[in-house]
Amino acid sequence: MTIVSDVNSAFYNQIYETGPKPAYRISELTIEKINEFSITGVELLISLNDNDLSEFEKLNSILLNPECEYNYFATFIEIENNNLEIVNNLNSKLYSVDSIASNVSLSGLIDLYPDINQYTLYQNCSIQLVGIYNSWKYFIKNGIIFNRFTLDENQIKTKKIIYSGVLSTTQTINLSA
């Protein structure tokens, strides 16, 4: 599931349009939608506006609500401060809370997004990673990125998921070549 900021920008719009489905703006998110997703899904891909913590507060009010059944993984795209207390609060309920950080560098053509600064690598990289999320298995297989968790059938059935690493790059990829 993709959860995206309500901010209307090319960065958030691209993540919303190309991220894993279902996709919701934070204002559309409800406990019922999260609970429905938790039946079959184990990964939340989240990109919120860290200049205004109200979006994180809304996310926490849903995920930390006792009625919320989801307790798997949350991966944040570009939190400028990974130690935001409001994000760390999720560690009390979820198996793992991680982020795809700006030290990852994937370059691609982003000319279609005029409000994205092409020299700001974290925005460029985040758009590229979301746009190619269907290729992550190929990148993992070829050692370009590492899978941050593995699941076997018994773990999925029993909902016991084991954390085993982080998503990170081992080399720079030029997607425009």
Residue 144 maps to a domain: no
Residue 170 lies in a domain: no
Asked, for residue 112, whether it belongs to a domain, the answer is yes
pLDDT band at 160 (very low <50, low <70, confident <90, very high): very low
In a domain, 162, yes or no: no
In a domain, 63, yes or no: yes
Which residues constitute the domain of residue 111? 2-135
CA distances from 35 to 32, 40, 96 (A): 5, 10, 18
Q: How many domains does the chain have?
A: 1
pTM above 0.85?
Answer: no
Q: Tell me, yes or no, whether 163 lies in a domain.
A: no
Mean per-residue pLDDT, 44-62: 90
Q: Hey, what long-range contacts does 174-177 have (CB within 8 A, 24 or more apart)?
A: 174/107, 174/108, 175/106, 175/107, 175/108, 175/109, 175/128, 175/132, 176/107, 176/108, 176/109
Examine residue 168 and state whether it is found in any structural domain, yes or no. Answer: no
- CA 48 to CA 56: how far, in whole Å? 7
At residue 28 the predicted structure's pLDDT band, cuts being 50, 70 and 90, is very high
Q: 16 in a domain, yes or no? A: yes
